A and B are shown apart, each in its own frame.
Chain A
Amino acid sequence: DGGITQSPKYLFRKEGQNVTLSCEQNLNHDAMYWYRQDPGQGLRLIYYSQIVNDFQKGDIAEGYSVSREKKESFPLTVTSAQKNPTAFYLCASSTGLDGGELFFGEGSRLTVL
């Protein structure tokens, strides 16, 4: 089945540790995105990539890093510099064309202890 796979679904981290969230898609989409969801704030864009080996910061990139070495993969690293990392993280992909639908993964819930 074509779709987006995020892993892990739930992750616990101690303060000061980096953690990487995985996002893989088999939809042959050029563009991929990472959003953060907090209660009452909707979804906010962290990073996006419109093509392999290129990515841009979104609205809340501080404390996060990404890579796009393969078309199918867009991992997100939450670094120890991110002050409030506990959140629900959603990965999405699209064709990249203006107005194109975003297809979302099931999300990863990160809790910092």
Chain B
Amino acid sequence: AQTVTQSQPEMSVQEAETVTLSCTYDTSESDYYLFWYKQPPSRQMILVIRQEAYKQQNATENRFSVNFQKAAKSFSLKISDSQLGDAAMYFCAYSGYGNKLVFGAGTILRVKS
């Protein structure tokens, strides 16, 4: 079974600074997808960024980018120019065949002004 591990229960970042959230996963599949979801205090889950495993190029969405290391099974999220609105719980997720997402335990991100 696939597993997703987020080793940082909490992280803090100063407004306008950069922060990196870590995620590792375990799988024997060769084709899969990785996601970062954001859950703000409203608890509505929102997709931040998505990466296809067959693509070597790291995904980027505005201030959000990933560092995807397939051999190391690592998928970290970098948030640049952090804003107060980035404060949330961030979940890393894996999806293989059948589109069932497996989630990590989450990382709480606090943004200091």
Contacts and interface: CB of A to CB of B under 8 A. Distances in A.
Interface of A: 31, 33, 35, 40-45, 48, 50, 58, 88, 90, 92, 94, 96-102, 104-107
Interface in B72-113: 91, 95-106
A43 B91 contact: yes
B50 to A, nearest CB: 7
Contact of B52 (A40, A99, A101): A99
B99 A43 contact: no
Contacts of B50: 99, 101
A99 B55 CA distance: 13
Interface of B: 4, 6, 9, 31, 33, 35, 42-47, 50, 52, 91, 95-106
A58 B99 CA distance: 12
Given A98-B99, A99-B95, A40 B105 contact: yes
A109 B91 CA distance: 19
A45 B99 contact: no
13 contacts: A42-B4, A94-B99, A98-B31, A98-B96, A98-B98, A98-B99, A99-B52, A100-B99, A101-B47, A102-B45, A104-B44, A106-B42, A107-B43
